[in-house]
Amino acid sequence: MTMIAPDPVAPDPKVERALTRRRWLGRLRGGQTGRPIWRQPIAVAALVILGGWLLLALFAPLIAPYDPLAQSPEAYAPPSATHWFGTDSLGRDILSRVIHGARLSIPLALAIVSLALLVGGLLGLIAGYLGRFVDEALMRLTDLVFAFPQIILAMAVTAAFGPNTRNAVLALVIVSWPVYARVIRSAVLSMRGDDYLSAARLLGVGPVRALRRDVLPNSIGPAIVLATLELGNAVLLLAALSFLGLGPRPPAAEWGSMVALGSQDLSMWWVSVFPGLAILTVVMAFNVLGDALRDRLDPRYAKGR
């Protein structure tokens, strides 16, 4: 007999409540409070858009009709059958550049967010768990970063290190880690007194192991949601930096710098509008997805049932 319970036990309301609260991954399937993600049309649209961009990025050389860097005499050709999105000042095919731009923006956004999550998460974990002066020092540091507008600080950092892709990513990590540190820290603080953590420590579990096994898995949820929301922001910031000439160096096909190129003469609207639309769709999709994820994982933010 493989019965787990030696006695038939009635479903306990407390158990049920704990169940819905604790298994946040299970909430992706809808739980009891709402529809599963794939039943929300907007979230589905976001997923489809992101999936599309991912495919475009992955197979860019196969899909793009032209080499994104190849110049041609047809400068500023308006959208036509040969160049669907037109060409830019150097006669480069904008469709191909937008498609190739996905290979830059999406992976870089992922890199920025994961690095920031890693750094911020680690510092938040340490601050929350150690408390006292370590916490105090780290939190003042986050305040310092929060005190500057993100884009200004990122500009200053990139300008200081020299404008290139690596430094742009670095700068954006530097401006975006504090928010993760804050979120993880507050999650850790709220569970620092939890009995299961005390129980593990009483059994002789060392602090690092307790952090890894007991603290981290129970505090990472909100940070993951935040990271999804921040992906869109990272795409935007990166585009802003390269718009200002502080990102990937030309002639790299980066959406932000493409928008910048077209903004010099808006009568050639297609030069900036198409990369702009690319940014718009990706950012919106990440935001919608992040919202949907948060509604699922964190019922406090859920909109009316």
Partner 1 sequence: MTDLLRITDVEVEYRFRGRGRVRAVAGVSLDVAPGQIVGLVGESGCGKSSLARAAVGLTAPSAGEVRYAGRPVTPLGWRRRPGAEIGLQMVFQNPYASLNPRRTIGAQLLDGVAETVTGAARRDRVGELLDRVGMPAAAADRYPHQFSGGQRQRLAIARALAPQPKMIIADEPVTALDASSQAQVVNLLVGLVRDLDMGMLFISHDLALVHEIADVTAVMYLGRIVETAPTRELWRDPRHPYTRALIDAVPQIGPTPRLPGTLAGEVPDPANAPTGCRFRPRCPHAFAPCGDQPPTLQLGGRSAACWLNDPTVAPAAVPAH
Partner 2 sequence: MAPLLDVDSLAVTLPGPRGPLPILHDVSLTVDEGELVGIAGESGCGKSLTAQTLLGLLPPGATVTGSARFAGTDLLGLDNRGWRRVRGGGIAMVFQDSTAALHPMLTIGRQLTEHMRVHLRMDRRAANRRAVELLDQVRIPDPERAMRAYPHQFSGGMRQRAAIAIALAARPRLLIADEPTTALDVTVQAGILALLDRLRAETGLAVAFITHDLGVLSALTTRGYIFYAGRVVETGPTGALLTAPTHPYTAALLGARPHGTQAVGTLRPIPGGPPAPGEAPPGCPFQPRCGYAQPSCGTAPPPLAPAGADRSVACVVRPHLEVATR
In the complex, which residues of this chain contact partner 1 (CB under 8 A)?
2-6, 9-10, 12, 14-15, 18-19, 22-23, 130, 194-207, 213-214, 217-218
Query: CB 143 → partner 1: shortest distance, Å?
Result: 21
Between the alpha carbon of residue 81 and those of residues 59, 86, 94, the distances in Å are 22, 9, 13
**Partner whose footprint covers residue 217, from partner 2, partner 1, none (CB < 5 to 8 Å by kind):** partner 1
Q: Minimum Å distance from CB 161 to partner 1?
A: 36
User: Whole-angstrom Cα distance, residue 287 to residue 180?
Assistant: 17
Chosen from partner 2, partner 1, none, partner binding at 73 (C-beta under 5 to 8 Å by type)? none
Min separation Cβ 300 and partner 1, Å:
18
Q: Which is nearer to partner 1, 197 or 289 (CB)?
A: 197
What minimum distance in Å lies between the beta carbon of 13 and partner 2? 8
Tell me if 1 contacts partner 2 by CB under 8 A. no
DSSP annotation string for 188-251:
HHHHHT-HHHHHHHHTT--HHHHIIIIIHHHHHHHHHHHHHHHHHHHHHHHHHHHHTT-SSPTT
93 φ, ψ to 5°?
-75, 120
8 binds, among partner 1, partner 2, none (CB under 5 to 8 A by kind): partner 2
198-219 in b/e burial notation, b at 16+ Cβ within 10 A? eebeeeebeeeebbeebbbebb
Give the tokens for residue 142.
């986050």
Site for partner 2 in 12-31 (CB under 8 A): 13
Which of 2, 8, 73, 304 binds partner 2 (CB under 8 A)? It is 8
Comparing CB distances to partner 2, the nearer of 19 and 170 is: 19
63-65-70-75 Cα dihedral, nearest 10 degrees = -130
Out of partner 1, partner 2, none, what residue 204 binds, judged by CB under 5 to 8 A for its kind, is partner 1
Tokens of 190: 């709220």
The verdict on 4 binding partner 2 (CB under 8 A) reads no
Q: Rounded distance, CA 141 to CA 269, Å?
A: 43
The CA R_g of the chain, rounded to the nearest whole Å, is 24
Among positions 2, 4, 11, 300, the unique one binding partner 2 when judged by CB under 8 A: 11
Query: Is 10 one of the binding residues for partner 2 (CB under 8 A)?
Result: yes
* HSE, side-chain direction, 13 A CA sphere, residue 4: 1
Nearest approach, Cβ of residue 200 and partner 1 (Å): 5
Binding site for partner 2 (CB under 8 A): 7-11, 13, 32
